Amino acid sequence: MLLRPRIVFERILHGREGGIGDVMLLMAFVMLGTAPVEVAMALSSPGGILIKILSMYVRFCLLPLVVCVALALVLVGIERFRGQKVPIESVMAACAYLWVPVGVMGLLGSMLRVLGLDLWFLPHMPLGIFIKIQPSIWMILLRAVCAYGWSAYLIWVLVRVLRGGKIDEPGTYGPGRFVLGGWVLLAYISGGLFVGIHYDSIRPVRPGDVAQDFELRRADSRGSVKLSSLAGRVVLLDFWGTWCPKCVEHMDVVIEFARTHPDVAVLAVHQGGSPEEVGKFIKAREWAGAVFLVDDLGMASAAYRAESVPAYFVIGPDGRIRAVRLGVPPEGWLEQQAWAE
């Protein structure tokens, strides 16, 4: 696909080879190399490992597949408008392969990140996070060219094949396949080394660990809160989300705890979103007592490995984790942990 796309597209469109299932396997292969840290965190976290891996896979695949299917429908519509009958299932399979160059560039970005060069315009950084960092116009152009330029070329090749055009390609693969093979192999090796070297920062947070500092904006738009500014106090971190019914249901318990324990700093950290959106949700429910923060980039959630919500962390006055609870805690857990020595 990457070295001789015309031949591959012809085999998919006319020989009915290479379905979307093959692309899904490729995506799984690339995900392991592009996101080794995230995969390692899911494997090392307690409970629900399979669910977490599947959830990662869905997030990794969903947007590319939606874009590819939408493009396939557009191409089929154009060709049928021109009076050409093309099999929609074959075009969809061919369009799914347009994602492959993006995956390869993501492997390159992941490999360079391990080497200390984090190029945010490469697709190892999810598009949603890239948008949230408010990139400059030059960064956006770099992202468009470096992350999607190769795929744009393949779209041109696919259209030419659909219309029966001729495209010159080399008769042999030459050294290109060895370069690509080494590229992928290096990405896997570097990802494995990175996980091994930084395992202490990847493994689940445990009691006794030093609490990672962060600074997040308040949902009521009254500035921000830095965790280190609360040194000397017991702190309860509650990672939650408006989309999580259990989080919302248990928030009343957290609010009541905050009211009856004014000496404890209760920080409810919302995963994703904006202060305005989260603030409206909180105001509609008249929640008061806890300090609501918004982790819009997911940095704090990643630091505490709070992949699922709700997740609770009790931090002692010495800045160390006293207790960790993933999922809704049993009745009385908050009161017991907040005063533990």
What was the pLDDT predicted at 338?
A: 54
What was the pLDDT predicted at 168?
A: 64
Surface-to-core class of residue 184, CB atoms within 10 Å of its CB (0-12 exposed, 13-18 middle, 19+ buried): middle
Rg (CA), the chain: 24
Question: For residue range 89-105, what is the model confidence (pLDDT) as tens digits?
Answer: 888 888 888 888 888 88
More confident residue, 224 or 85: 224
Could you tell me the pLDDT band of residue 46, with boundaries at 50, 70 and 90?
A: low
| Strand pairing category for 215-218 and 321-326 | unpaired
Question: For residue range 129-180, what is the model confidence (pLDDT) as tens digits?
Answer: 788 777 889 888 999 998 899 899 999 999 888 887 666 666 555 666 677 7
What was the pLDDT predicted at 176?
A: 63
What was the pLDDT predicted at 167?
A: 66
Surface-to-core class of residue 236, CB atoms within 10 Å of its CB (0-12 exposed, 13-18 middle, 19+ buried): buried
Q: Where are the domains of the chain?
A: 5-202, 215-338
Taking residues 205-211, report their average pLDDT.
Answer: 87
Structure tokens of 214?
């962060």
The strand pairing partners of 269, in sequence order, are: 239, 293
What was the pLDDT predicted at 107?
A: 82
- Report whether pLDDT(339) > 60: no
* Residue 225 DSSP SS3: strand
Question: For residue range 59-77, what is the model confidence (pLDDT) as tens digits?
Answer: 778 888 888 889 988 988 8
Question: For residue range 234-282, what is the model confidence (pLDDT) as tens digits?
Answer: 999 999 999 899 999 999 999 999 998 888 999 999 998 888 999 999 9
The strand pairing partners of 217, in sequence order, are: 224, 294
Query: Is 3.40.30.10 the CATH classification of the domain at 215-338?
Result: yes
What was the pLDDT predicted at 227?
A: 93
The CA distance from 201 to 90, in Å, is: 45
The strand pairing partners of 313, in sequence order, are: 237, 324
Cis peptide before 310 (omega within 30 of 0): yes
The CA distance from 179 to 163, in Å, is: 31
More confident residue, 227 or 307: 227
Taking residues 209-229, report their average pLDDT.
Answer: 90
Contacts of residues 41-46 at CB distance under 8 Å and 24 or more positions apart, as own/partner, are 41/202, 41/203, 41/204, 41/305, 41/307, 42/307, 44/202, 44/203, 44/204, 45/204, 45/305, 45/307, 46/204, 46/326
The CA distance from 213 to 226, in Å, is: 7
